[in-house]
Amino acid sequence: MKIRLKDNKVKEYPEGMSVLDIARDISPGLARTAMAGEVNGRTADIRKKIYEDSDLKILTFEDQEGKKAFWHTSSHILAQAVKNLFPEAKLAIGPAIDNGFYYDFEVDKPFSTEDLEAIEKEMTRIVKQNLELSRFELPREEALKLMQEKGESYKMELISDLPEDEVISFYRQGDFVDLCAGPHIMSTGAVKAIKLLNVAGAYWRGSEKNKMLQRIYGVSFPKKSQLTEYLNRLEEAKKRDHRKLGKDLDLFSIQEEGPGFPFFHPKGMILRNQLEDYWRKEHVRHGYQEIKSPIILNRDLWIRSGHWEHYKENMYFTKIDDMDYAVKPMNCPGSMLVYNRKIHSYRDLPLRICELGLVHRHELSGALHGLMRVRCFTQDDAHIFMLPEQIKGEIIGVINMVDDFYNLFGFRYHVELSTRPEDSMGSEEDWDKATKALQEALEHKGLSYKINEGDGAFYGPKIDFHLEDCLGRTWQCGTIQLDFQMPERFDLTYVGSDGEKHRPVMIHRVIFGSIERFIAILTEHFAGAFPAWLAPVQVKLLSITDRSNEYIHKLMDEFTKSGIRAECDLRNEKIGYKIREAQLEKINYMLVIGDKEVENGSVAVRSRKEGDMGVIKAEEFKGLLLKEIREKAL
């Protein structure tokens, strides 16, 4: 059989060679670091045997899917350690996640800090045993019997829910066996560094109706130095936690009267308004028309859009005049109604409609997290209605906007393309055309991208933008989705050049994603030290004596009239104390003003970034700052 490798070289191997065998043939070093394989675009266990011509990538810890195989094995080590120490514990699920792994357990009492320390120690002992992981399969009845003998009721439920034709596989390490589809690394000995991070409650299968389980989170690495580096980053992330900084800088709060419903304070509103003002100017520049749709709309609309059937459990409801209404979880149906208010010609397209729309979605209380996960948020939505031949050009236009936005904040990003899922709507011809248009747009822009096979929305393929912050963490924010379903459901039409009615193609897209979540990301990315154009307070004027107060008030008035956001500190405190306080408040510039500065019409400038910048004329400083704000400098 012929195997095409990552570098496009083609090698011949006997049928039945495993991914690991091929890795050994390429290089013993590669075989030692191999975690999994990617066979014809699908992640595969390193033990998988190949019997036909295939494309193959050997995945190491440097690859995200390689990491996940490593972390998946670590979750099994965690489960084995818990069963060794707490034999009565019942196993639920234990997947790899984007930054480590977790495992859910049913236990009589919650795990304590001391329990976590003991479990981590037991995991280290299992690692030292270097237990080989082996995969085996069982018929459904035998699989159920095995789990029943072990008292694993959650595993029995999972097996019962599998399709009849699904292969039921298990992995064994020593005397521990777990139901699992894989993939896994070869043995426990490769996991050189482990840290259990915390424990939290989690409902079985995410439903409040089910039992609350104990979820242990952890992370692991092939080298101890990698764990040290990770823990240092984690410590830095704690310092940058937007919830702490939001309180310290008086940006926002979550009150007990409204869990998941954030309050923005005056300084937080300045930051928010700067983002929204920039958003509006850019959308006008790119030919968008802004709308505002109602927050509450009737049941018939949500039935038509499909949300009543597919999204009801995440929605909030009310009654008006004995009729059912819903608080909108998404802005799209409102845009449909605006489009449908009149007849459109092909000459009107593309039509770009944008909206900063407040939406409400029900989130479990345990999932709420500052501004990152809330129950109401503002999406920077846009919906583009176009002719089929305009798809590629409009996608390129959106990509250009996303690039401009993210570069403004200093974010790098990577792109993923998600293709047709099994439960998709629409014809294969439409899907092929749409997917090809997305690919051509990405290639036109010279963007490399990862393909997520079958991970598109049911109504069309999509491009997702994952931005990277200063700590290397990634956040999925922007998305471009092609939709054939909504124009059909809402009977959207335009009159073509032939005089007949046709169905437009539609794009859903966001760039910030959610204003609230983007503010959280920005706060952590900049550690609250925002660029001058975003900063709630750009300048603080600090008096040395009362004699300078009149001059400071005059400067404050001039700055305010020029659009500079300034505050003054006229307290009878030592100047060093005032400077330290202003630095803690992350003020961009501190202007120290004493008798000399009053006499010369100058200011002694201290920059948050550069420290003492010396004494300059007040008018010159004002000009420099206005230029920095105008250019939106980082």
Catalytic-labelled residue, pool 48, 508, 509, 525: 508
User: Is 379 labeled as catalytic in the residue annotation?
Assistant: yes
**CA quadruple 417, 419, 424, 426: dihedral sign:** positive
Could you give the CA distance from residue 113 to residue 132 in angstroms, rounded to a whole number?
30
pLDDT the model gives residue 7: 83
Structural domains of the chain sorted by starting position, each given as residue range(s) with its CATH number in brackets: 2-60 (3.10.20.30), 76-230 (3.30.980.10), 252-293+348-525 (3.30.930.10), 539-630 (3.40.50.800)
Q: Can you tell me which residue has the tokens 């309050």?
A: 263
What DSSP line would sit under 210-231, residue for residue? Answer: SPEEEEEEEEEESSHHHHHHHH
User: Is 332 labeled as catalytic in the residue annotation?
Assistant: yes
Asked if residues 425 and 484 have their Cβ atoms less than 8 Å apart, the reply is yes
Q: Can you tell me which residue has the tokens 């000459």?
A: 347
Asked if residues 123 and 77 have their Cβ atoms less than 8 Å apart, the reply is yes
pLDDT the model gives residue 427: 80
Tell me: cis bond preceding 487? Omega within 30 of 0 counts: no
pLDDT tens digits for 259-283?
999 999 999 999 999 999 999 999 9
pLDDT the model gives residue 302: 92
User: Nearest Cα to 19, choosing from 183, 246, 204, 244?
Assistant: 183
User: Is 361 labeled as catalytic in the residue annotation?
Assistant: yes
Kindly give the residue spans of alpha helices, DSSP state H, lying in 320-427.
332-339, 391-408
pLDDT tens digits for 204-241?
998 888 999 999 999 999 999 999 999 999 899 899 99
Beta strand 133-137 with 36-39 is unpaired
pLDDT the model gives residue 111: 95
Q: How would you list the strands of the sheet with 2-4, edge to edge?
A: 10-12, 2-4, 54-59, 36-39, 42-44
Report residue 135 as tokens: 């995969």
Catalytic-labelled residue, pool 57, 383, 509, 517: 383
N residues, the chain: 634
pLDDT tens digits for 549-570?
999 999 999 999 999 999 999 9
Q: Can you tell me which residue has the tokens 């609350």?
A: 212
Could you give the CA distance from residue 250 to residue 540 in angstroms, rounded to a whole number?
16
83 vs 423, more confident = 83
Report residue 168 as tokens: 């039921």
Q: Can you tell me which residue has the tokens 């956040």?
A: 475
Whole-prediction pTM: 0.81
User: Is 383 labeled as catalytic in the residue annotation?
Assistant: yes
Could you give the CA distance from residue 435 to residue 420 in angstroms, rounded to a whole number?
8
**Does residue 424 carry a pLDDT above 80?**
no
pLDDT the model gives residue 311: 85
pLDDT the model gives residue 307: 86
Catalytic-labelled residue, pool 178, 380, 381, 469: 381
Asked if residues 26 and 192 have their Cβ atoms less than 8 Å apart, the reply is no
Asked if residues 482 and 391 have their Cβ atoms less than 8 Å apart, the reply is yes
pLDDT the model gives residue 394: 94
Q: Can you tell me which residue has the tokens 């040395």?
A: 544
Region 164-181: what's the mean pLDDT? Answer: 92
Catalytic-labelled residue, pool 155, 195, 242, 361: 361
Phi, psi of 458 (to 5 degrees): -65, -20
Q: How would you list the strands of the sheet with 412-418, edge to edge?
A: 289-290, 351-360, 376-386, 505-510, 474-483, 462-468, 412-418, 449-452
Could you give the CA distance from residue 304 to residue 220 in angstroms, rounded to a whole number?
47
Asked if residues 110 and 139 have their Cβ atoms less than 8 Å apart, the reply is no
pLDDT tens digits for 113-164?
999 999 999 999 999 999 999 999 999 999 999 999 999 999 999 999 998 8
Beta strand 2-4 with 54-59 is parallel
Catalytic-labelled residue, pool 90, 155, 332, 344: 332
Beta strand 589-593 with 539-543 is parallel
Provide the pLDDT confidence category of residue 385 given band limits of 50, 70 and 90: very high
- Cα 259 off chain centre by: 21
**Does residue 426 carry a pLDDT above 80?**
no
Tell me how far apart the terminal alpha carbons of the chain are, to the nearest angstrom: 54
Provide the pLDDT confidence category of residue 58 given band limits of 50, 70 and 90: very high
**Does residue 399 carry a pLDDT above 80?**
yes
Counting other chains too, the contacts that 257-262 makes at CB distance below 8 Å and 24 or more residues apart are: 259/365, 259/368, 259/375, 260/363, 260/365, 260/368, 260/373, 260/374, 260/375, 260/376, 261/374, 261/375, 261/376, 262/371, 262/374, 262/376, 262/516
Q: How would you list the strands of the sheet with 611-617, edge to edge?
A: 566-569, 539-543, 589-593, 602-607, 611-617
The enclosing H or E element of 517 equals: helix 515-525
**CA quadruple 398, 403, 408, 413: dihedral sign:** positive
pLDDT the model gives residue 453: 86
437 vs 542, more confident = 542
Cα–Cα separations (whole angstroms), residue 137 to 17, 141, 157, 461: 20, 12, 17, 35
Catalytic-labelled residue, pool 462, 517, 525, 578: 462
pLDDT tens digits for 402-412?
999 999 999 99
Report residue 316 as tokens: 């909030």
Catalytic-labelled residue, pool 214, 274, 379, 390: 379
